[in-house]
């Protein structure tokens, strides 16, 4: 089957990526003048003209202080909790979590936190696809069903700190990559980050300065800056890219350094899954220049079976020119890099990028990796509601 990532249930056009393939961040060379990474760049049709967003962006350069707290006071309003799809039991569990001086979460608090996060993510994808993912053949360890033959829900049993550590340790042993999982959740009053590494207890940090409204406004501003053709050769994306780095990465940067992490796996909350994390900027370099990056739906919905890809042949196809949508001028370079430099394979651009040709190439050779660079629409419900732009 074609390994196309379907973990980003957004209605905005997206770049298709496969989270099981480590990003080649070590091949990115630092530049004197920051250039926009082409990976995960989204097309955004309408400019952002919200005056509140403008005010936030204007204040970024004068105030880059990170506001964190060691005792997250999560919102108690029932309406707020319904917005993020966490049920009452797990909400109560989250409200009882305390962190003192960045002390790792206790075993009980970690289990409660992870259970709440997993239910949040699973409910999100259940609502989007119209299916109960708890019955799908996905497991944190071996791809087995989360519901056993006796009808018992095994999702909360499989999703534990022990299993996460085993997954991260297995990834390190098989790939040589030291990975961390970051759960990013945007609450109405604050941003919450939960960090899992192979050898340490999980860390929970909150950023009160980044409430959901402020966070989403800066995310939209960044997307607008990196997808507007007239701003392609400017650095107007830097203020929002640096602010988002300060909110999402800097609070946990010390822990990442201490654990020698080189690969980040993000599980994003709703509204954040189309954020081009590669473009986040620390003032010196882009995030993708320091880390390999991947987006996952959640740890329990992640296929952790490792498949070596060093000598894999790649089928790279895409389009840079469109009639009704914005052009994607970096696609020719992207296809050349993917199919001739990072791997060896075949590439097809524009008029050669057709559905029939895709099927023909797959019949001629069973490419383990198919890379598609084009516009796409992912819509709720049946798969036929979503489409790729040929």
Q: In the predicted model, what is the mean pLDDT of residues 89-114? A: 42
Q: In the predicted model, what is the mean pLDDT of residues 96-117? A: 48
Q: Is the pLDDT of residue 145 over 50?
A: no
**Percent of the chain beyond pLDDT 90?**
37
Q: Going by DSSP bridges, is the β-strand pair 179-186/263-268 parallel, antiparallel, or unpaired? A: parallel
**CATH annotation of 106-131+162-301:** 3.30.420
Categorize the per-residue pLDDT at 322 as very low, low, confident or very high, splitting at 50, 70 and 90. Answer: very high
Which residues have a Cβ under 8 Å from the Cβ of 132 and sit 6 or more positions away? 126
If one compares 56 and 165, the residue with the highest pLDDT of the two is: 165
Backbone angles phi, psi at 336, to 5 degrees: -65, -45
Angle between helix 51-60 and helix 212-227 axes, rounded to 10 deg:
90
Q: In the predicted model, what is the mean pLDDT of residues 231-254? A: 94
pLDDT at position 123 is: 63
pLDDT (tens digit, 9 = 90+) per residue, 326-379? 889 999 999 999 999 989 999 999 999 999 999 999 999 999 999 999 998 888
If one compares 71 and 226, the residue with the highest pLDDT of the two is: 226
Which residues have a Cβ under 8 Å from the Cβ of 311 and sit 6 or more positions away? none
pLDDT at position 48 is: 35
Which residues have a Cβ under 8 Å from the Cβ of 29 and sit 6 or more positions away? none
pLDDT at position 386 is: 86
- Going from N- to C-terminal start, the domains of the chain cover 106-131+162-301, 313-388
Categorize the per-residue pLDDT at 39 as very low, low, confident or very high, splitting at 50, 70 and 90. Answer: very low
Count of other CB atoms within 10 angstroms of residue 129: 16
pLDDT at position 171 is: 83
If one compares 221 and 54, the residue with the highest pLDDT of the two is: 221
pLDDT at position 68 is: 29
pLDDT (tens digit, 9 = 90+) per residue, 173-208? 888 889 999 999 999 999 999 999 988 888 889 999
Nearest one of 166, 141, 164 to 154, comparing CA atoms: 141
pLDDT at position 192 is: 92
The single-letter DSSP state of residue 105 is P
Taking phi over 0 as left and psi of -120 to 50 as alpha, with beta for the rest, 143 belongs to left
Which residues have a Cβ under 8 Å from the Cβ of 257 and sit 6 or more positions away? none
Categorize the per-residue pLDDT at 144 as very low, low, confident or very high, splitting at 50, 70 and 90. Answer: very low
For all residues of the chain together, what is the average pLDDT? Answer: 69
pTM (two decimals) = 0.61
pLDDT at position 122 is: 61
Contact 328, 14 (CB under 8 A): no
pLDDT at position 381 is: 77
Contact 249, 291 (CB under 8 A): no
């Amino acid at each position: 089957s074609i390994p196309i990532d379907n973990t980003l249930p957004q209605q905005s056009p997206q770049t298709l990526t496969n989270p099981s393939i480590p990003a080649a961040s070590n091949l990115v060379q630092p530049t004197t003048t920051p250039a926009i990474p082409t990976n995960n760049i989204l097309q955004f049709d309408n400019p952002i003209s919200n005056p509140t967003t403008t005010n936030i962006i204007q204040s970024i350069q004068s105030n880059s202080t990170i506001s964190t707290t060691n005792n997250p006071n999560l919102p108690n309003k029932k309406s707020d909790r319904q917005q993020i799809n966490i049920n009452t039991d797990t909400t109560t569990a989250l409200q009882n979590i305390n962190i003192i001086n960045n002390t790792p979460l206790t075993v009980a608090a970690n289990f409660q936190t992870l259970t709440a996060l997993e239910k949040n993510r699973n409910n999100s994808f259940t609502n989007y696809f119209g299916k109960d993912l708890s019955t799908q053949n996905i497991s944190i360890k071996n791809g087995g069903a989360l519901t056993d033959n006796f009808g018992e829900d095994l999702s909360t049993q499989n999703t534990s700190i022990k299993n996460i550590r085993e997954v991260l340790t297995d990834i390190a042993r098989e790939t040589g990559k030291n990975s961390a999982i970051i759960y990013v959740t945007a609450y109405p009053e604050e941003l919450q980050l939960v960090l899992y590494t192979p050898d340490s207890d999980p860390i929970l940090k909150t950023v009160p300065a980044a409430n959901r409204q402020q966070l989403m406004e800066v995310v939209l501003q960044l997307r607008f800056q990196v997808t507007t053709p007239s701003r392609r050769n400017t650095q107007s994306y830097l203020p929002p890219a640096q602010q988002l780095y300060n909110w999402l990465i800097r609070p946990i940067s010390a822990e990442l350094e201490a654990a020698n992490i080189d690969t980040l796996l993000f599980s994003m909350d709703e509204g954040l899954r189309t954020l081009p994390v590669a473009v986040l900027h620390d003032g010196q370099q882009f995030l993708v220049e320091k880390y390999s990056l991947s987006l996952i739906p959640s740890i329990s919905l992640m296929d952790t079976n490792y498949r070596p890809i060093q000598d894999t042949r790649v089928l790279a196809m895409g389009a840079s020119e469109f009639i009704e949508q914005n052009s994607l001028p970096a696609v020719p370079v992207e296809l050349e890099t993917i199919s001739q430099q990072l791997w060896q394979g075949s590439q097809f651009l524009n008029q050669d990028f057709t559905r029939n040709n895709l099927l023909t190439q797959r019949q001629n050779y069973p490419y383990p990796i198919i890379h598609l660079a084009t516009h796409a629409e992912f819509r709720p419900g049946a798969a036929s509601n979503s489409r790729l732009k040929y």
